Amino acid sequence: MPENHKDFVFQDSDLTPEAAQSHVNEVMRGADDGELFVERSASESLSFDDGRLRSANFDSSRGFGLRCVAGETSGFAQSTDMSQGALTRAGEAVSMAKDGHTASPAPAPQRTNVKLYPDIDPVAHPEFGVKVELLQEIDAYCRALDSSVVQVSVTMSGNRRAISILRAGGERYDDIRPLVRLNIQITAEKDGRRESGYVGAGGRQSYDSYIHPDFWKPLAKEALRQAMVNLEAVPAPAGQMDVVLGPGWPGVLLHEAMGHGLEGDFIRKGTSAFAGMLGERVASKGVTVVDDGTIEGRRGSLTIDDEGTPTSRTVLIEDGILTGFMQDRLNARLLGVKETGNGRRESFAHAPMPRMTNTFMLGGDANPKEMLADLKDGIYATNFGGGQVDITSGKFVFQCTEAYRVRAGKVEEPLKGVTLIGDGPTVLTQIRHIGNDMELDPGIGVCGKAGQGVPVGVGQPSLYVENLTIGGSAV
């Protein structure tokens, strides 16, 4: 990490690191926990649409979030005013959380020397003109792929976040976090019908690999393939069916259907469908699910979480048995367990909470082709859109953006309007086969919780799931 990083987050402000640390020491006296989270970020987004540069946005922000924790009570204040006066006012507000409370601060997070991403600035490199030329080149390539292409939309976005976390006693944690993403959407037309295909990729790294033709040309072809498949799609049937889920991004279903239910705050409050089930069988044999924030360069990875705790590989379900939960510092302390490095926040303006990083199911030993051959009458779902889930019950509804009807083990016509309906705890017990083709998603996940969005990763092998409810429009 550059020697001037500590100066960078406080640079050009009236607040010095020394004054901030002194104030943190005072505010945290008698509290159980808390921190000053200081952030300076820059982000850029370019969109090439309808054959021209449609928009180019740049944003920079800086501010702090001050939190004081006493028992189950948290006081939180945030400001974009990086001054001693603003920090003093914030301290007066959050200190009310500890009125009448006396405690010794919880031990500070352990240190880590592992850096999971490079210290680069995707907003500054490559320069703006190079990015525009790249978008124009991708647009032209996509339009030349097929005469049916009528619309192309290409976007690229990048940001760089520099953070410093100050704790009582002089403990300080610093991190610089890059993040990039490239998206391609192609709309094709046939016989007056228009359909689209979409692909994206990203991670905590530079743009270098993403701007190479060997990388983005296959993405463009995949977007066109999806659009052409959708042009042939027919209305989906409805009813109870067995389903084979493809590898990679379909893991977003598991992320929503069971991942949130394994976050420490829902477990502690007893609102999760998995509360009180630690050590019990919650899934079919062979099902192992982990949350791993330590995978180098991945979208959901972090060297440290937003409380300063090193991220880790946490086994949530092992061979079908519930073995662990994702914890931030507050919920781990109240539950009497170890924090797992899952305390995350959208920005300095938000308090941290337990959140997923990269959450995925490990592979099994089944051959995906044999899994499909075993599907006598059902659905093969390979790509997903949005969905909704109720944490308390685990019930979910997910839309499939690419799915096929399977009869007698053969993949036949593509379907439109497929929705998968069920509940996470039940689905985990209906997994019949686990493929040997585990994949992580290409780096497009954004997870929402309590109004906060954070980048995440998902993944899974191909899965054969019995008796899912299919919502469709065919009659």
Question: 115-124, pLDDT tens digit by residue?
Answer: 899 989 999 9
pLDDT at 42 over 90: yes
318 touches 410 (CB < 8 A): no
Least confident of 38-52, 94-108, 394-408: 94-108
pLDDT of res. 94: 97
The dihedral sign for the CA sequence 252, 258, 262, 266:
positive
Of 343, 341, 345, 338, give the one whose Cα is nearest residue 354.
343
pLDDT at 56 over 80: yes
Are both 222 and 87 inside the same structural domain?
yes
Are both 46 and 73 inside the same structural domain?
yes
Quickly tell me which residue has 């509360």 as its tokens.
Answer: 275
Are both 421 and 449 inside the same structural domain?
yes
383 touches 230 (CB < 8 A): no
460 touches 254 (CB < 8 A): yes
d(CA 57, CA 49): 14
DSSP state of 326: B
Are both 215 and 320 inside the same structural domain?
no
Are both 329 and 446 inside the same structural domain?
yes
Hey, what's the torsion of the CAs at 388, 390, 395, 401, to 10 degrees? Answer: 10
CATH code, 58: 3.30.2290.10
Torsion angles phi and psi, residue 385, rounded to 5: -105, -130
Q: Which of residues 203, 231, 259 is at a domain's end?
A: 231
The residues, any chain, with a CB within 8 Å of residue 137's CB and separated by 6 or more, are none
416-469 per-position pLDDT tens digit: 999 999 998 999 999 999 999 999 999 999 999 999 999 999 999 999 999 999
The residues, any chain, with a CB within 8 Å of residue 126's CB and separated by 6 or more, are 207, 211
Could you give the number of structural domains in the chain? 2
Are both 332 and 224 inside the same structural domain?
no
pLDDT of res. 413: 97
Are both 16 and 75 inside the same structural domain?
yes
Region 248-262: mean pLDDT is: 92
Q: What is the pTM of this model?
A: 0.95
Are both 262 and 365 inside the same structural domain?
yes
State which H helix or E strand residue 98 sits in.
Answer: none
Q: Which of residues 231, 266, 294 is at a domain's end?
A: 231
SS (H, E, C) 406-432: EECCEEEEEEECCEEEEEHHHHHHCEE
Could you tell me how many residues make up the chain?
475
Greatest CA separation found in the chain?
73
pLDDT band at 209 (very low <50, low <70, confident <90, very high): confident
d(CA 250, CA 402): 10
Are both 225 and 323 inside the same structural domain?
no
Are both 215 and 323 inside the same structural domain?
no
Mean pLDDT (the chain, rounded): 94
pLDDT at 102 over 90: no
Helices (H), 269-388: 329-335, 368-373
pLDDT at 203 over 60: yes
Q: State which residues form the domain around 148.
A: 5-231
CA-to-CA dists, residue 178 to 127, 184, 304, 313, 355, angstroms: 16, 21, 14, 21, 19
Residue 131, SS3 per DSSP: helix
Q: Which of residues 179, 213, 231 is at a domain's end?
A: 231
d(CA 309, CA 319): 28
pLDDT at 1 over 50: no
* Chain centroid, CA 339 distance in Å: 19
In b/e form, how buried is each residue of 84-115, taking b as 16+ CB within 10 angstroms? bebbeebbeebbebbeeeeeebbebbeebeee
Are both 400 and 261 inside the same structural domain?
yes
Sheet (strand 73-79) strand order: 73-79, 52-70, 33-49, 149-166, 172-190, 193-203
pLDDT of res. 6: 56
156 touches 135 (CB < 8 A): yes
Region 10-27: mean pLDDT is: 94
Within 10 Å of residue 232's Cβ, how many Cβ atoms?
A: 13
Quickly tell me which residue has 């295909």 as its tokens.
Answer: 197
d(CA 109, CA 118): 23
Percent of the chain with pLDDT over 70: 98
311 touches 304 (CB < 8 A): yes
pLDDT of res. 5: 58
Region 395-403: mean pLDDT is: 92
DSSP state of 145: H
Are both 187 and 76 inside the same structural domain?
yes
In b/e form, how buried is each residue of 363-381, taking b as 16+ CB within 10 angstroms? bbebebeebbebbeebbbb
Paired with 389 in beta bridges are 396
